[in-house]
Structure 1
Amino acid sequence: MKRLLSFALLAWASLLAATSLAAGKTELTWYGHSAFRLKTPAGRVILVDPWITNPANPRGQNDLEQLGPVDLILLTHGHGDHIGNTVDIARRTGAKLVATADLSRAMVAYRGYPKEAATPATIGHFGGELSLLDDEVKVAFVPALHGSDLEAAEGMPNAGLLVAGGEAGGFLISVRDGPAIYHAGDTDVFSDMALVQRFRSVDIFIAPIGDKFTMGPGRAALATRFVAPRSMVIPMHYGTFPALTGTPAAFGQALKAEGLKTPMREMRVGETLAF
């Protein structure tokens, strides 16, 4: 009788755990600039362009030390303000690199990314889509209008020189039982952004607005029209340096001028949203 009761309790606990997991939320944390942390309902952790210790994040070193396990690191391109702390994180956590084949090879050869964590299973190219983390996450490669050269690290071949890092891009990250998030990387607006939602509806659009090196608020508003996010648009890549003059306020005004009702969500550095 006791064995039967124990079995029933175990089955009940397993059912509760499964129910709790199914009811889990997707969490999105912004570390400033273009650096985001995505936690899936199953608890898997994805970083995008993890320059955690950027100047806009006063808690950067503490955030870096408290990251904990990381499953995937997604890199949009090879510029230093997007590579950021990538290699240190990968060496500590074994996180797999998700990038184009060109950028993945360059990261291993010139930045010291662990070769065993940059394998063909997690590389792709524009138009392709990967199914990762036991099919909980799909990552589609989206083009961007930007450069992608990277500086070879000290102690690596060609140290201090700029080497080719392939082409810049963005990612459409679709979470099972969660949102589809389009992180545009560094880019100008381009009309083919309208094609992204033809293949999978975008819930959250994360758009650079800083100007000078990417589109500014006005062009980002037009990009928002093309992408047509169902839930919100989140501005990024602004205010980190004086040269990045675009502001969320100007972006909000541009969205109104564009006649869009898409809510803009201005995240605070270190803030986490749950979906």
Structure 2
Amino acid sequence: MDKRQLITTGVMCLDNGAFDESNRMYVSSYASSGIAEVYPNGQIRQVVPQNLVGPYGVTVDFGGTVHAADHYRLGDDLAIFSHGIVADQDQLHITSQYGEVRTNQRVRARELDRPVGIAVRDDGALVVAEAGAGRVIAIEADDTITVVASGFGSPVDVAFDAQQRCYVSDELGVIYRIDDGQAVAIASGLATPQGLTVRGEELFVVEVGHQRVLAIHLDTGERRVEADNLAISPPEKTARALFAHGMPGCPGQFAGIAVGPDGSLHVAGEGSVLRISREDS
């Protein structure tokens, strides 16, 4: 007699299950973490709270919805290996440090060398920081790839200002502006700069080494601290193995930042997304 029973829990990406001495079942999820007790009717009781796996990149759409690239998911949707992200009207453009760039579910590029930060140029092209290759590339509407600038140490994010000038953060401590295909340093001596975004006349960067957000005036170069003592991990002393035995390993650390329609900043932190309103600045 077949005594199997299908129980739908609503918890995606289950990876382990166990029973206690009272025959109560517990499951875990590799995508949303946490541990839940599963009742026979499919209802669950969260024993260990769910949490974010990263998150890495973060973006805010025109409606104010925050989207975080959380390695295995975007919000409640499964999105395997998501690290950089940018919203563009009704589309989400995503990078995977394992080599892909996607628009929603459509693959735009493969076999890149650790693509991380991503932005949309005013002509619709996707501009990507390809950290492993030390360059910034553009992916056109027909998926043609061109090199915007090269020769960086470890570029991890890109951002555009109102004049469509492109800025690049290099984890080795420098922020560049690309002028006619040439990288011009506008700020140096930073402690692991990662996520970039522009609000008005200022460029905001997540300076991971000091666990703060730094604001840099686009014209004068004047710096100020927008927020500090943030709950973001300090730089890793030993680089993670991106691939292990030919399989995806651990993505490199990346703390993204984005500005919302109301001017508030959103920072991808240690298992959370932090919101910094203008009133908090």
Q: TM-score range by the shorter chain?
A: 0.3 to 0.5
TM value normalised by structure 1: 0.32
* Normalised TM-score (structure 2): 0.32
Tell which has more relative contact order, 1 or 2 (C-alpha 8 A, sep 6+).
1
| Higher helix proportion | 1
